[in-house]
Amino acid sequence: MEKVIIIRYAEIHLKGKNRGYFERVFGVNLEKALKGLRHELRRTSGRYLVTAFREEDAEELCARIARVFGVHSYSVGVRVPNDLESIAAAAMSVSPQSGTFKVDTHRADKRYPMTSPELNAEVGARLLASFPALKVDVRAPQHTVFLDIREDGSALVFGMFCEGAGGMPVGTSSKGLLLISGGIDSPVAGYMMAKRGMEVKYLHFHSYPYTNEQARDKVIVLARILSRYTGGDTVATVKVTHIQEEIHKKCAAELNVTLLRRFMFRIAERVAARQGAKCLITGESLGQVASQTMEGITSSNAVVRLPVLRPLIGFDKEEIVARAKKIGTYETSVLPYEDCCTVFLPEFPAIKPKLSYIEEEEKKLDVEALVAEALGTMEEFPLR
């Protein structure tokens, strides 16, 4: 009787002839997630099995598996030969000893001599004989003993399905560069794109000395939490203080944020080219703040050729907060350290500025020189 963690994947089974590629990437991601803990990972007919692990590591292994995109569900159970005696003994090892229960059999091996109802009845009868306090309830049982008869002559026996992260394996949908602030929204945006298989890189803009190093460190912590799901080894930071000072000095006050966003997008596009990213990712939600109106979004898009993905565009704040809490970034995001967008914030920012007006004001600035100076300040900080 071998202790195992059974991993089932999500959308990969829909990939037809490309399925092998997705399975290979998925396996690599699982190995990365489980690195440092003793284990063996094997693929077997639509399942991955984690074996040869220490009992005391089981909880941590499961926690890591739950964060890997592509995992539909997982279970802790046992693997035994598929003869009836071995299956019944395994069922007793995972069964409760009291309460209501049922046995639920899945036969991947249709050649198996007993049908699913026959196995349910036989194993259920043996459990009743061994544990008199058990009662059968096939409609709404308190417990279920699951039997999975595999094609390789083995059976997997377990007592619970645990929900995985779902989605697609990270790395199967190219790379994207996340503009990560210290707020609630951008980490959630990165999480959602990683769930669709995108490898996420991180770029943060800061305004030192107007913002302090604690604000930067907060973002590094956020990226570190997020990297549990998305991968990623570093977060890049770029200083935009000089840009903000020039905008504040020479341009219309109500455009401070709008013009800064255009510079951020220009810089981000060049960083993306260095890192091989094919798109930019932001945490913008339509109408949430002044720069996130259609006019503001159009203004930012106008200065880049790369696509800009905004996975939160139709979300309200409550939905975003709920997801941030679920993925573990919320408590860090609400720490009271300001980001660069709060520096020189106008009292009445433009809500629907005309692009022609924005471009006219921007002519007062040496755009290329300011962008080049900003890129010269780029630093990278390790996340692991």
Please state the rounded mean pLDDT for residues 179-192: 95
On whether residue 309 sits in a domain, the answer given is: yes
Q: Mean pLDDT of all residues in the chain?
A: 93
Please state the rounded mean pLDDT for residues 153-170: 96
Question: Which pLDDT value is given to residue 340?
Answer: 58
CATH code assigned at 337: 3.40.50.620
For the cut 70, the answer to whether the pLDDT of residue 341 exceeds it is no
> Which of 163, 191, 221 is the last residue in one of the domains?
163
| Structural domain boundaries, residue 278 | 175-382
Question: Which pLDDT value is given to residue 338?
Answer: 65
Report how many domains make up the chain. Answer: 2
Question: Which pLDDT value is given to residue 300?
Answer: 93
Asked whether the beta carbons of 190 and 328 are under 8 A apart, the reply is: no
195 and 76, same structural domain?
Answer: no
Q: Dmax over Cα atoms in the chain, in whole Å?
A: 86
Dump pLDDT digits (tens) for 78-123: 999 999 999 999 999 999 999 999 999 999 999 999 999 999 999 9
Please state the rounded mean pLDDT for residues 168-181: 95
For the cut 70, the answer to whether the pLDDT of residue 339 exceeds it is no
CA distances from 22 to 116, 124, 136, 205, 371 (A): 31, 38, 41, 34, 39
The Cα 301–Cα 304 span in angstroms is 6
Reported in sequence order, the residue ranges of 171-262 that DSSP labels E, i.e. its strands, are 175-179, 199-206, 234-239
296 and 190, same structural domain?
Answer: yes
Is the bond preceding 209 in cis, omega lying within 30 degrees of 0?
yes
Question: Dihedral (C-alpha) 245, 247, 249, 252: value to the nearest 10 degrees?
Answer: -150
Please state the rounded mean pLDDT for residues 280-289: 92
The Cα 80–Cα 40 span in angstroms is 17
On whether residue 13 sits in a domain, the answer given is: yes
Q: Which residues of 254-285 are buried (b: 16+ CB within 10 A; e: fewer)?
A: bbbbbbbbbbbbbbbbbbbeebebbbbbbbbb
For the cut 80, the answer to whether the pLDDT of residue 318 exceeds it is yes
> Which of 114, 136, 163 is the last residue in one of the domains?
163
Question: Which pLDDT value is given to residue 351?
Answer: 80
